Amino acid sequence: MRSVLITGTSSGFGLHTAVEVARRGWHVFAMARRGWHVFATMRNLAKRAPLDAAVAAAGAAERLDVTQLDVTQAASVEAGVRAVLQRAGGHLDAVVHNAGVAVGGAFEDVPDAEARRVMETNFWGVLALTRALLPTFRAQRSGRIVIVSSNSAYAGEPANAIYVASKWAIEGWAESLAYEVTPFNIGVVLVEPGSYKTEIWGNSPRVLPENSAYRALMQHLEKAIDEKVLASARDPREVAQVIARALDARKPRFRYPVGPDAWIGHLVRGKLPSRVQRFAITRLLGLHRVRS
């Protein structure tokens, strides 16, 4: 049975991915290899109950272990990797970097602490865990690094500058890393979801000071996003299924856009001038009607 470490499994994409991968058995596209044993990790083990219930309902509890791992803490990364490798007999087939956070607000209003929290989780946390696992992947001359990115890596977004920056950064890093690890038979994969109904929308702080110069813009954006983006957000299990396919594939693609909006962004990426992209997003969200 193959083994995979998945981060951020207490909710959202991570929870659904852990369940989807754990419940899989024989697969034709995996060349009839056995299924996966999932090492589901999360920052706070007190939040594991939803995952435990979901994997039990899927009949796959015996194929999943839960381990504490906070990707922003070096000691936690070291201890988590050590524990997982010990249980896996020193061999790990893949890692899914899913842990992620966000903050909404005009860049000028977002405190440095919030901006750094996003970058520490979405960017530096991925680098730290990958660095900890690469010696194992290189020694066994195999491994797959799956990174949950976002269609936010395709173009700028108002009131989301820090999250967008984290996803642009992780994609540039992933493209570069692929050159270095390919000779060791280590694959790198980016999964890029569009708008999906996960807890990140409700759990992310929205910064809007009373005296903000961007107050009118932010109030308009909050309503527009609820009406035009969240209203059409899709089932996160779609993303979990794509991640599972990327793990099972003999020769996975480098990028997997997921959802209609992600596919549209993927197809026009780099083909439209920035001013055209800004015009389209401004009109879509009605920002041209906002006056400061």
Q: CA–CA separation, 31 vs 250, rounded Å? A: 8
Q: Which of 154, 163, 214, 256 is catalytic?
A: 163
Determine the 3-state secondary structure of 144 from DSSP: strand
* Catalytic annotation present for 163: yes
Q: What are phi and psi of 95, to 5 degrees?
A: -130, 140
Task: Give, to the nearest 10 degrees, the angle between helix 112-119 and helix 161-181.
Answer: 30
Read off the DSSP letter of residue 121.
Answer: I
> CB neighbours (10 Å) of residue 129?
23
Q: How does DSSP assign 20-71, residue by residue?
A: HHHT----GGGTT---EEEEEEES-GGG-HHHHHHHHHTT-GGGEEEEE--T
Burial class (CB in 10 A: 0-12, 13-18, 19+), 288: exposed
Report whether 248 contacts 30 (CB < 8 A).
yes
Other CB atoms within a 10 A radius of the CB of residue 292 amount to 7
SS (H, E, C) 212-249: CCCHHHHHHHHHHHHHHCHHHCECCHHHHHHHHHHHHC
Residues catalogued as catalytic: 163
